[in-house]
Amino acid sequence: MKTQPLILSKDQERRLIAGHCWIYSNEVDTKATPLKDFQPGQPVAIRSDHDRWIGHGYANPHSLICARVVSRDPTQPLSPTLWLKRIHDALALRERLYTRPFYRLIFGESDGMPGLVVDRYGDLLAVQITTAGMERVQGEILAALEQVLRPKAIVLRNDTSVREMEGLTQGVEVILGSPEDTLPLIENDLEFLVSPLTGQKTGWFFDQAENRTRLARYGVGRRVLDVCSYIGAWGLRAAALGAEQVVCVDSSLPALERVAENAARNRLAERVQGRHGDAFEVLRALREEDARFDTVLLDPPAFIKRRKDEKDGMQAYLRLNRLGMELLEPGGLLVTSSCSFHMGRDVFVRTVQQAARRAGRTLQLLETGQQGPDHPVHPAIPETAYLKTLFFRVLPEF
């Protein structure tokens, strides 16, 4: 497909020159380059209104983000050569960071490949494509991944609702090999069975790995509550650190069944139990039972996925953290997370503080975590810094 020019409106290049790569439909000079003339995923050469070079990218006239910059080098258009270079660069970072092949290999914009996520599970790659531009070059991307990593299996996890905004269909497809939906993953010397074909996201949450490692420095006490536990990453880590009783709460029965499997696999079954139900309802029930814990771990899904969810989402974070704190012993540890980009770190801290006031508790913020280095943050693209994990000591009000 021929590369066509995409001309920006007057004074719309500043954010892109600073390093961002998203172009919104209201930033395009639609008289000079009508968006209706572009096909979804079509490669474009992006220029300012006064003909300043911005970069090579791709367009989608049906999306609010109507174009994305991929290469700022005029001599390096979108091509198999570019994908190979980007994958080699991304792999070099991960091999520098990790001794085992379990990590996020490609993190979209931060690795110069907007619209692409690749998670590595040993010899299996789970690939997620979220934009029409990457969909158009899917064959080139998969060929480059095969050439660089020589995986035994590749799975397309294109079952995310984000694709709808790009006019793309959803589905899961095995591209290479005949992988089983259960394979082992190692984190902190614990072995977990994960499901890259059917599990949440691509089967595992690599972004919290560094934060789970940090638990060791604080001590978790005898009793630990892991809320929104999924398949037990946080809870089993707490059990391995010496907790005598870990209660894992999740709304998914299959996830809790996997918690039990993973606990048995690591000889922690006697210390770990599951509790099925809605997180808020279970927390209220535990409060009625007068249950108390030394550590409470809160790692919910994003309550604020869009700007319009902000008010309700903040109330959900407020309620969840208040309920969690009400179950803590004096001096207990609260580890609470938000993966909502639209809730910034400072707002999240204030929300948890407000929850503490309502619960009659005093907080001491010990540490702030973010996503691990396999999810690098692009300094010019704040959207790539989405995860906040806060470590608090919780005391009676004083």
Q: Are 298 and 359 in contact (CB under 8 A)?
A: no
Contact 203, 121 (CB under 8 A): yes
Q: Which of 53, 43, 72 is nearest to 8 (CA)?
A: 53
DSSP H/E element including 169: none
- As a whole number of Å, the end-to-end CA separation of the chain is 67
**Residue 339 a catalytic site member:** yes
DSSP 332: E
> How does DSSP classify residue 28?
B
Here the tokens at position 264 are 């048995």
Asked if 69 and 27 touch (Cβ cutoff 8 Å), the reply is: no
CA pair distance 201, 235, nearest whole angstrom: 19
- Helices in the chain by DSSP H: which ranges? 14-17, 80-97, 132-136, 138-149, 209-218, 233-240, 253-265, 279-288, 310-326, 345-359
Angle at CA of residue 203, ends 197 and 209, nearest 5°: 160
d(CA 124, CA 202): 11
**Residue from 21, 66, 228, 339 carrying the catalytic annotation:** 339
Nearest to 82 by CA among 140, 153, 131: 140
Q: Can you tell me the distance from the alpha carbon of 369 to that of 351, in angstroms, rounded to the nearest whole number?
A: 17
CB neighbour list of residue 30: distance below 8 Å, 6 or more residues apart: none
Q: Are strands 171-176 and 153-158 parallel, antiparallel or unpaired?
A: antiparallel
Instruction: Choose among 191, 89, 105: nearest CA to 373.
Output: 105
Catalytic residue positions, numbered: 339
